[in-house]
Structure 1
């Protein structure tokens, strides 16, 4: 079972995990990141790298909806392989409950958002 990004990533979208991933399996949405389950090698390096504690093993009980959400958006959102700075208000959102309503289905910039 692969790792999944969960609710606390929404509006925080720290990218420390992206910098640590050895197989570039992260995808970027407008308000959160997801992990592509077809690429994740289940190494677990991303989990402790997440400052928002938003990454979990998909094998944990109760995460079935997040496993499905990561799989769905991994095929719609662009690849992100390089860490960017989070939004200026990320700390204000970290740990807030009920953020699922703030999930945007729109893609993020992905690697195209890198300053050149």
Structure 2
């Protein structure tokens, strides 16, 4: 089993999960996070920390697409080691439908200079 980030993270990018992850397996895109499935140690400490309820176990129904999605973007986005402020409109974006097709960005997060 592994954990993955799903579409409700898009537009929110709460990073509470990053602070509790013991193996630094979160990767940061412009407007969401993903987990590298082969680095996740299945501890589950991140799941209850997500205010957007966007982290799921891969054993839940229909998670295969999210495992592949997380793997793909974790290979091209930078690792995130510490929590940051959520996106400015995170609360408004939480729970909205169709964020994957309407606002998802494939761009990596901007790295601090």
Quick check: 1:10 aligned with 2:13? no
Correspondence 1:21-32 to 2 at 5 A: 21-32=21-32
Using the TM superposition, give the Cα deviation of residue 73 of structure 1 relative to its aligned residue in structure 2, in angstroms: 0.5
Kept after mapping to 1: 8 A contact 2:31/2:87: no
**What is the TM-score of this pair, normalised by structure 1?**
0.92
Q: Structure 1 stretches (4+) deviating beyond 4 angstroms?
A: none
Which blocks of at least 5 consecutive residues in structure 1 are unaligned?
none
1:103 is aligned to 104
Which blocks of at least 5 consecutive residues in structure 2 are unaligned?
none
- Specify the SS of the correspondent of 1:45: coil
1:30-78 C-alpha deviation (Å, 9 max, x unpaired): 1110001121000000000000000000111111111110010010000
Question: In 2, distance between residues paired with 1:76 and 1:103?
Answer: 15
**What is the TM-score of this pair, normalised by structure 2?**
0.95
Q: CA RMSD in A?
A: 1.1
